[in-house]
Structures are given as C-alpha cells and as structure tokens.
Chain A
Amino acid sequence: MTKTKKETLLDVKDVSLGYEDGAIIEHLSFTVQAGDYLCIVGENGSGKTTLMKTLLGLQEPLAGTIERSAALKDNAIGWLPQQTVVQRDFPASVREIVLSGCLNRTGRYPFYRKEEKERADRAMARLGITHLKDRCYRELSGGQQQRVLLARALCAAEQVLLLDEPVTGLDPKVSMELYEMIRQLNRSGITIIMISHDIASAVQEATHILHIGQNIFFGTKEAYTNSRMGKYFLGTEESGE
C-alpha cells in the first residue's frame, strides 16, 4: 500500500506570522505531505504557538499563503492542545470528552447521532482507553489524560493530527509510551505535526524537521542532522554559530 506520489496536504508559502505590532517569523515556507511526521522545534518565543494557531485557522498570517488540500478543507486538523487550568478539575467523563471531538460532524443537528457515538467508541478503542470510558477525566493520570485528548482529536479529524508539546509534564516512561502511540498512528496513515522543544526526541521520532528561530530550517530528518544548525542544536558539533 505504498503510494508512489504523496498528496500535499499543506503548502505554506513565504508566510509571515505574528501580531499587529510586529512579525515573529518571516519568509517561512514548508510543505506537509500525507503520511509525514513533521516536528516543529524552536526555542520559547520563536513563534511555535503562533504557527500552530495559524495552521489551525485560529489566526490569519500577516503575509504569504497557506494552501490546504481539498481533503483538509472539509475536515479540520485534529488538535491535541496543551492542558488548561480549567480542565484539571473538570467534572466530565472520558466518553463525554471524546465525543465532543465529533461536534463538527453534527452540523446543525443539536445532538450526537449513532454514527458519532460509534466514531467516539472507535477512537477510544484505537488508543486503548475503552475501559476508562466512564471514568472521570480529572482522576486520570497525565498519560491517560493525553490519550483521551488524542482520541478527541482523532474524532475531529482522521488525516492530520497537530500535537502541541504532547509529553509536557509526563514522566519518561509514560512519554515513551505516548511517543510509541503516536508512531503507531503515523504508521496507520495519519499525518502528524508535532510541536516540541525537545529536539533530541523530535529527531528520533520525526521524518521531517522544521526548526524556527533566528534561522529557519526545513527538510528531512537526515538533512537536519547533517546540517550545521542541526549539529549545533543536537550537540554533535562543539562550535556552532
């Protein structure tokens, strides 16, 4: 089932991002193709969050264009946001949260239909959280909570997932399990875009790297590890810029 020609899902051309009082990133270009595992890395304040919001359509770019494939236009990108304070003590069952990812499928109909409920069940099964479905979200461990939110993201979209620092606050073992989960999703054909400040594990997991900051790098993982920038940040070369 290997596709000879990959479909381009996102084509970002010469985009400037930021707020009214100034651009944070300028002249950013990259593409995301179906099946890619792209890691966006960069220091704090380099504009990762702004880029994410723009990809999600929550914010408009200051300049440049972002072309989305036809498939992406109908279906939003599945998003795994960072947890908010509100969520930590929110009384909601796992099922309610996963189901809320199906909201964009209900259209004007006010309730969830059978197909949305089945979809939520499938997403929970895929992430191995079916046994937790009636548990309260706030009583789950950090890793389980991330799986719940991943299942919700899967309900919202099946082609592309955008993960915002998914392992923040998780212990190393749980982080590894989550990375493994994401790898499996990627192998089953889902395109992954992951924002991370952990360059080492990004290089380990991803197929492509986008490094933003003072200098911008976009290319395959191999090209990144061989580039000066990659060597500097990975610590494989002593003297960098």
Chain B
Amino acid sequence: MERLFTYLQYPFVRYALIVGVLIALCSSLLGVTLVLKRFSFIGDGLSHVAFGGIAIAGVLNVSNDMLVVLPVTVISAVLLLRTGQNKKIRGDAAIAMISVAALAFGYLLMNMFPTSSNLSGDVCSTLFGSTSILTLSIREVWLCIVLAAAVLAMYVLYYNRIFAVTFDESFAQACGTKADRYNLLIAVITAVIIVLAMNLVGSLLCSALIIFPALSAMRLYHSFRNVTIASAVLGVVSALAGLILAILTDLPVGSAIVAVQVLVFGICCILEKHI
C-alpha cells in the first residue's frame, strides 16, 4: 500500500491512472451497444486496422501517430458498417478480411521500412501494449480527457436514441429516427475509442476493454440502464485494479487489465447462477 502511494507521487503514474480510467469508461459504455448489436468483432477488426495505421505512420515518419491512425481507423469503421448492410460480403467476413489484411500489410511495411533497430520489440509493444501508457505527456492526457468528455456527453445526450436504434433499428427508422446517422456516430466513436485504448492495452487486446464489461454486466442486470451503468462501473474498476496490479508487480499493463476483466466476468457468471 505504501509503495502504491510512493508511486502515486510520480505524475506519470497519475496520468496513466487518469487516462486508463477514462478509456475504460468510454469503451465499456460503448461495449453494451456493440455487443447487443452483434458488433463485438468490429472492435477487434478496427484495432488491427489501427495497427496498420501505426505502421503507415512509421513509414511516413509522421511525428504524431494519431494524425494517421485516427482517420484511417474512422474510415475503416464507416466502411465496415456499410458492408454490414451489403448482401454480397457479409459483415463478419468483411471484418475478418480487413483485420487480417491490415495486420499483414502493417507488418510488411514495418519490415520494409524499419524505423528502429528493434523491430520485433516495436511490433510486440504495438500488439500487446507497451509502457507507452506510462510515458504519456500532459498534452496526450488532455487530448484523452477532451475526447473522453466528448464521448460521454454524446452518450448521455443520445442515450435514448442509442437504445432505440440498438433494440430495433427498423422500428426506430419507421418512427422517423435517422438510424443510419446513429450507426455512423457509433462507428466513429468506436474508432476513436479503439485508437485511445491502443495506448493502454495494445491493439490485440483492446477489444477486450469493449466487450468484457458489457458481457459481465449482462450476467447480472436485466434492464438496459442498469446494464449500462454496471458496465461502466465494472470497466473502470477492472481497469484501475489492473493498472495498480501492473504497476506494483511490474507486469505488462494491457494483459493485467484484461486478466482482471476475465476474472470479473467469471465472478459475474458465478453470481448469476446464485441470484
């Protein structure tokens, strides 16, 4: 405990905790909708696309990865949702195609134009999360706070509409709700969150942040509002626990958080049977 407080005196530890909690909050809120809309895999696909984006950014030698990664991921998110409605390529197949293609091309690019001597180290840290969460600058922390606030505000303001579109898209559309617009909004927010979450847990693991809290909450609660709130709480708590665990034991942050989330999911499954 004492060690924890010593660590908390370092600003980079505090930054990591703030950013970690915000990312977990946003992704767990969104996760409810994505899981219920059967879009769980979109998070996974997009994170691979973001990996490809990072490779491109490396090749182009862009100082700020975000400038490349964010637009690439947002565009892919929109395209993926579009093809979901296309009959020729089914949604799941499209996601599988795009995600492996992005991984392969990303790794190819990194090999063809190596930016540092330790290529496999770079790849590993991009895929599984690195210490980058502990090397955040104050600017990145603010960027994260602003984006998270925007996502939260959007979610609260459009909560009822998001519910309607998630539960029954055609009915909402027949009642005059512009369902396409909300699907687009959901896709864009997902992409933004994925890019943020990559800093925290790496691109292979970041869909865990989205799906696990929602799935755990659904074991315990039976109304949309309660599931949403529980998902946010569980997401934040597991992220905090995972971060602290990782800092204290010197384990990788990403896998620690995901491990805690799997544990929470297990507990929720057991609780469900006893309620």
Contact = CB atoms under 8 A, between A and B. Distances in A.
A58 B174 CA distance: 6
A110 B157 contact: yes
Nearest to B159: A110
Nearest to A105: B175
A178 B227 CA distance: 31
A91 B173 contact: no
Given A86-B36, A91-B223, A103 B170 contact: no
A134 B37 CA distance: 23
Contacts of A96: 163, 223-225
Contact of A100 (B164, B174, B176, B222): B164
Contact of B221 (A58, A91, A135): A91
Given A100-B164, A136-B223, A156 B36 contact: no
Interface stretch (A7-15, A76-84, A192-200, A225-233): A76-84
Contacts of B36: 86, 90-91
Given A90-B36, A110-B159, A101 B175 contact: yes
B171 interface: yes
Interface residues of B, number: 29
B158 A110 contact: yes
Nearest to B32: A91
Contact of B222 (A57, A93, A97): A93
Contacts of A79: 171, 174-175
Query: Which of A90, A101, A135 has the largest count of B CB atoms less than 10 A from its CB?
Result: A90
A208 interface: no
A152 B163 CA distance: 14
Contact of A152 (B156, B161, B171, B223): B171
Contact of B223 (A76, A81, A93, A100): A93
A58 B170 contact: yes
A30 interface: no
Contacts of A138: 222
Given A58-B174, A104-B175, A92 B223 contact: yes
Given A91-B218, A96-B223, A139-B222, A104 B171 contact: no
Nearest to B38: A86
Nearest to B221: A91
Nearest to A111: B160
Contacts of A93: 222-225
Contacts of B218: 91
B163 A92 contact: yes
A84 to B, nearest CB: 7
Given A87-B167, A96-B223, A96-B224, A58 B173 contact: yes
B176 A76 contact: yes
Given A56-B174, A81-B168, A104-B176, A91 B222 contact: yes
Interface in B168-202: 168, 170-177
Interface in A114-141: 134-136, 138-139
A158 B174 CA distance: 15
A56 B170 CA distance: 10
A152 B156 CA distance: 22
Interface in A47-96: 56-58, 76-77, 79, 81, 84-87, 90-93, 96
B167 to A, nearest CB: 6
Contact of B160 (A76, A87, A100): A100
14 contacts: A76-B174, A79-B175, A81-B171, A85-B38, A87-B168, A90-B36, A91-B221, A92-B167, A93-B224, A100-B163, A103-B172, A106-B160, A112-B160, A139-B222
Interface of B: 36-38, 156-161, 163-164, 166-168, 170-177, 218, 221-225, 227
Given A79-B174, A87-B168, A91-B36, 18 more contacts: A58-B174, A79-B175, A81-B170, A86-B36, A86-B167, A90-B36, A91-B218, A91-B221, A91-B222, A92-B167, A100-B168, A103-B160, A103-B161, A103-B164, A103-B177, A106-B160, A110-B161, A152-B171
